[in-house]
Amino acid sequence: AQSVTQPDIHITVSEGASLELRCNYSYGATPYLFWYVQSPGQGLQLLLKYFSGDTLVQGIKGFEAEFKRSQSSFNLRKPSVHWSDAAEYFCAPQCSGAGSYQLTFGKGTKLSVIP
């Protein structure tokens, strides 16, 4: 069965510290991979996506993610966190088969930033 796991429910970091949010997936074939961010009371915004090619992808707001096929992971990173990054982050694989479309969201990781 297809699944996505975000093992950290809540992470707290100090402003200026580095950040890594974990995401692992279990799919028959390598899915397309997305990270979305949701600020409180808002909809979701796309941070970055991976389809193929370079395994390190750059996104908006200084975020990047690295696809590691051997580990079935797509971890999100930022070298220096800003207070405005406090939000909830969702990893979302998407089946890559013909006619597939459904995005499956992980349960999310809530990020708190200490000033």
Contacts to other proteins by CB under 8 A: 32, 34, 36, 41-46, 49, 51, 90, 94, 96, 99-103, 105-108, 110
Q: Which is nearer to other proteins, 11 or 15 (CB)?
A: 11
**Nearest distance in Å: CB 110, other proteins:** 8
**Nearest distance in Å: CB 35, other proteins:** 11
Residue 63: phi, psi to the nearest 5? -85, 150
**Nearest distance in Å: CB 7, other proteins:** 14
* CB atoms inside a 10 Å sphere around CB 101: 7
Q: Which is nearer to other proteins, 72 or 94 (CB)?
A: 94
β-bridge mates for residue 82, sequence order? none
**Nearest distance in Å: CB 13, other proteins:** 20
Q: Which is nearer to other proteins, 14 or 54 (CB)?
A: 54
- Tell me the C-alpha distance between 36 and 57, whole Å: 14
Q: Which is nearer to other proteins, 68 or 107 (CB)?
A: 107
Length of the chain: 115
For 42-89, give the DSSP string.
S-EEEEEEE-SS-SEEE-GGG-EEEEEGGGTEEEEEESS--GGG-EEE
